[in-house]
Amino acid sequence: MNRFVVLLSILATLSTSLVYQMTTYGFTTKADSIPLTPTISSVSPYILLVGSVTTQEITVRGTNFINSSQISIKSYSHLGSVGPWTLVTQYISPTELRATVQGNIPGTNTNVLSITSSIGVYVKNSSTLVSNPSYFNLIQSLDHPWIRYISPFEIPCQNIPLNTAGVSVAIDLYGNNFTQGSIVDAIPVNAIGSQYGGISNSPYSIPTAYISPNNLRVSLPASYIRCGGSTGNTYYLQVKNVTAPPARFSNNFPFFVNIQPTTTTTLGTPAINSILPNEIPINNTAGILSIDGTNFSQTASRIHISSTNSLTINPINLTPLSSSTATQLNVNLPANISPTAGSVLVRVSNPSTGSTRVYSVGVPLRINTTASNPPTTPTTTTPTAPTTTTPTTTTTPTTTNVTPTITSLNPDFIRAGSASFPITITGTGFSSSSRVIFGGNPPLTPTSVNSNGTQLTVTIPATYVVTGGRYEIRVSNGTSISSPTNFDVPF
């Protein structure tokens, strides 16, 4: 009898394991069947002292990571570029990977942790699906200048005649310990020769403008970025502080000039006007999501459903149905998006340069207990004309003393150093007299507020997101202020 019970227990365990694997890997396979390029939002740590460690675990956060994702690194220093090396990668989640950097790279004489340098970090889902680079930096001392990142980090070459001046390119350097007397050198690595109007292979001090202790701006001459030769142009940018001896030098940070002018997709960046349904119930049944907008393609566009501040889910990546058009995408919405209430973000992407993609601004899909399940056939998302009624005079309610609430932000993150951008805040108690508080910066006036006070839009200045970190966003109605909601600014 006991043997029989044990046998039943084993069979039950195997059955549970099989069901789990079928469910888990079935879902993963569905998502991974769409080729997606991984993106990196941050690498931790992002700074180390030269020689302080012999090995270092790094954590990479971003999107579109899969079980087979691999982290690779490449060292950029006064010795030149060395690598890349692929690291043994631990998959944590679709948004997190980990790996350990060995100081002494096996099979080489290189100790990448003992040289002042910038270490480029990449994630590969395949040989063609490679992420944007992110960096961690090795510096000599905390009182030296150091570059954390630059913007832009790469540009297309300029296809201009030799006798034409061309247009210089402004580059912002972000980091620490910059001074009024800081000078930026451009150090050619494989720059094109003078036969193409290039420069000699020697350091060149670029006109440098001091913005703040964390920001310098330089102007790279057109002669550095003229097209020509069989290879692209790579330069190291290095900050040197020479006003007070001894001179202090930063890490070398790479700047890339593409061989040929960059080409972009003819589709352009997609834009979402509306989605139907715009809310679904907890543990929804499968159905059709219809997205109205512009710059869509039934064959090339992809739909992405991801987490927001109010709800965390595994990212879902979907392909449009054949009924989709250039202005409406229809997609099979999976069942059981979330067992809890909140909202998720719906975005559309189009292919761009190389293997990269351009993304629309996200639109929230609300999940609650009262919504209906999505339809099983596509729904037109063109709004019907409102019924004409005789206007009546009403008094707009004041919300000065109402305490506002925030339920979601769209977007809820942006990379440090980005340009000014709009953010849509969903919640309650908003009015035209509301003010948005971003971190410790001066309050901002909304550019628009909807009629029922549940959504406002405000433009965040570029100066508010120069430095990476986590910022709190609040909405204020006079003396009544909402609870804070986090907004991430990764490097």
pLDDT at site 35: 55
Choose the weakest-confidence range: 73-77, 118-122, 243-247, 260-264: 260-264
pLDDT tens profile 398-434: 444 688 889 888 877 777 777 888 898 988 899 888 8
pLDDT tens profile 60-104: 888 888 999 999 988 887 777 777 888 999 999 988 999 988 877
Q: Is the CB of residue 61 less than 8 Å from the CB of residue 39?
A: no
> Token digits for 196?
């193409």
pLDDT at site 363: 82
CA gap 169, 258 in Å, rounded: 14
pLDDT tens profile 201-255: 456 788 888 988 888 888 877 777 766 544 457 788 889 887 767 788 888 888 8
7 pLDDT above the threshold of 70 = no
pLDDT at site 441: 75
333 pLDDT above the threshold of 80 = yes
pLDDT at site 106: 58
Using CA of residue 405, residue 409, residue 414, residue 420, what is the dihedral sign?
negative
301 pLDDT above the threshold of 80 = yes
More confident residue, 40 or 265: 40
pLDDT at site 292: 86
Provide mean pLDDT across the span 450-476: 85
pLDDT at site 389: 38
188 pLDDT above the threshold of 50 = yes
pLDDT tens profile 354-387: 445 677 877 888 888 888 888 877 755 443 333 3
